[in-house]
């Protein structure tokens, strides 16, 4: 590597040193827009995981409420029971969907790297 040293002026007109080191080689990977969005935002499937965690946490809270308190009103008890069962079911279903369809950032990066052969040519 060869280092370049140049003097340049900044906005105020003051002289500042700029040091630049050259690369021996540079690998450039081309990616499509979908891969870029996944790398930027994370997998869209992570929304399933977020809602799953929220619903299962809520279901656990409802379960604790049902087991630790005495609810005399049958309508309120049934409402809690309904939301508990519903939260468990939807939470587990969303977790299964997330688990089966998850796309990890690592797998996207590996896919991009595999486009370049070991000798550096496409």
Three-state DSSP at 47 gives helix
Q: Residue 1 has what pLDDT?
A: 46
| Tokens, residue 48 | 């399933």
Output the tens digit of pLDDT for each of the chain's 122 residues: 445 555 666 677 777 777 778 888 878 888 888 888 878 877 767 889 999 999 999 999 999 999 999 989 999 999 999 999 999 999 999 999 988 877 777 788 888 888 876 665 55
CB-CB neighbours of 94 under 10 Å: 20
Instruction: Please report the pLDDT score of residue 114 as a whole number.
Output: 86
Gap between the Cα atoms of 18 and 10, Å rounded: 11
């Amino acid at each position: 590597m060869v280092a370049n040293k140049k003097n340049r002026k900044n906005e105020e007109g003051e002289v500042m040193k700029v040091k630049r080191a050259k690369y021996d080689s540079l690998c450039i990977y081309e990616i499509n827009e979908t891969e870029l969005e996944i790398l930027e935002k994370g997998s869209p499937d992570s929304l399933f995981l977020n809602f799953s965690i929220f619903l299962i946490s809520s279901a656990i809270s409802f379960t604790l409420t049902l087991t630790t308190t005495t609810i005399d009103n049958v309508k309120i008890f049934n409402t809690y029971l309904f939301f508990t069962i519903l939260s468990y079911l939807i939470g587990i279903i969303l977790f299964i969907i997330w688990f089966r369809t998850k796309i990890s950032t690592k797998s996207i990066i590996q896919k991009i790297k595999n486009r370049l052969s070991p000798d550096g040519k496409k």
